[in-house]
Amino acid sequence: NLVPGGVVLLGLLSLYDQLQFQPQGSSCGVMLYFTPLLTQVEPEMYFDRTQLKLSMNRQDGLLWEIKAGSKRLQDGNEEFTFKLYRAPSVSVTVAHIWRVIQLEGAFIVPSRMAGIFHSPAALTGYAFVSWGDAAPSQADKAAMLDLKIIPGHNDTGGLYCRQYTPRCLQAASDLAARQTATLQYANLPIWLKTAAHALFPEHIQTEGTHTQVTFAYPVAFLPWNTKGLCAISRSEVLTLDNATITSSLSSCFSLAVADCSKESLFAIQIREENTNLVTRIHSNTDVVDLIPNENNELFVYINNNKLENINQGYHRVENDKTQISVKKRSSGIIEVELESEIVLQHYNTTVVILIPAVFRGYTCGICADFNGDTKNEPSIAYTQCDEPS
């Protein structure tokens, strides 16, 4: 009942030892035929937050079991694994029966906590599957597919960007999305290789045994991009849609980004002052100002009240919810987090804003509308000078 349609799925899977695939000589198809069991096969499924087990059992014991699971690694990344296990007591003596002989794999998925301070790891992993005539004498003729995914770059130095400029952050995002997939194969049926070559003529050759593809994972759907990233400097903006555009700030406030839905939960303004950036955050009835001086010291004002000891930070909770959190990270970097999980990181000459995915398509300002389309980025600065700077 945990999986929609699970009862039907298990019912079909229970036919595992009743339905067998048999190749038809030189033809390019397979024939499915029915072999009744002498004893009943019972499927079992176990599922919790970290693992899934699917097994087939007879009265005389386990036939096979697939285990899949996930676990959080020490570096924050997630590891997903799966493997097929067979009961040693189950043997096959009938020739010309195709079965899955081996199935296993493991993938490391980058942490959702990765970001400016902790660059995301690349998506890596492998998957291996073999199948063929189940008779032991035919084991060396089994078909095999071996897939490996590795980073498509050679960067091992940790942080990609030291200054967190918009252009560097975009390059880092593009670099993290680049992957290389290598596929090795052996003993594949001719008809299967011919079909694969027809679909992917540049990558699969009928006489080949391996292929390699370099691809870029869609940046908007990277696991660490559950929060959109906008970076603003005096002359450039990396938008929430991962496009770098030219945008000159002035001494008047410009709208960096805001919630332009009916709820309008937040708005962030930004302006230039002495080559540094002044920001103003509106959240509910609160106003937070971050103002650097000529010595690059950053001062924080909450509702016009100066935060005297920024090293101790600031944390205000109402009704068990954090309304505003301010902390100093390193090298003078100040981070402000709002109730709506908006995060602003101030680097004096660059401001980075992290926006949760719930605001996709509802933002406005020079950070753009967060809809994944880079062709409709803002061409105006949304600037106002109604109040003295």
Phi, psi of 167 (to 5 degrees): -70, -40
Counted domains in the chain:
2
DSSP code for 358 = G
Higher per-residue confidence, 286 vs 95: 286
Q: What is the pLDDT of residue 363?
A: 92
Is residue 304 located within the same domain as residue 329?
yes
With 0-12 / 13-18 / 19 or more C-beta atoms within 10 angstroms meaning exposed / middle / buried, residue 212 is: exposed
Whether the pTM exceeds 0.85: the reply is no
Residue range 169-221, pLDDT digits in tens:
767 666 766 788 999 999 888 888 888 888 888 888 888 889 998 877 655 45
Q: Are residues 212 and 231 in the same domain?
A: no
Q: 161, 188, 219: which is the final residue of a domain? A: 219
Calpha distance 351→268 (Å, rounded): 11
Same domain, 316 and 364: yes
Highest mean pLDDT of the ranges 53-62, 165-174, 300-309: 300-309
> What is the tens place of the pLDDT at every residue in 219-257?
545 544 557 889 999 889 989 888 888 888 888 999 999
In this structure, the chain runs to a length of 389
Mean pLDDT score across all residues of the chain: 77
The residue that leads in pLDDT, 111 or 190, is 190
* Helix/strand/coil for 260: coil
Domain boundaries, position 338: 227-384
> 30 falls in which pLDDT band (50, 70, 90)?
very low
Q: Which of 219, 251, 271 is the last residue of a domain?
A: 219
Q: Strand, coil or helix: what is 292? A: strand
**Domain membership flag for residue 190:** yes
Q: What pLDDT was estimated at residue 360?
A: 84
Do residue 203 and residue 113 come from a single domain?
A: yes
Model confidence at 24: pLDDT above 50: no
Do 66 and 150 belong to one domain?
A: yes
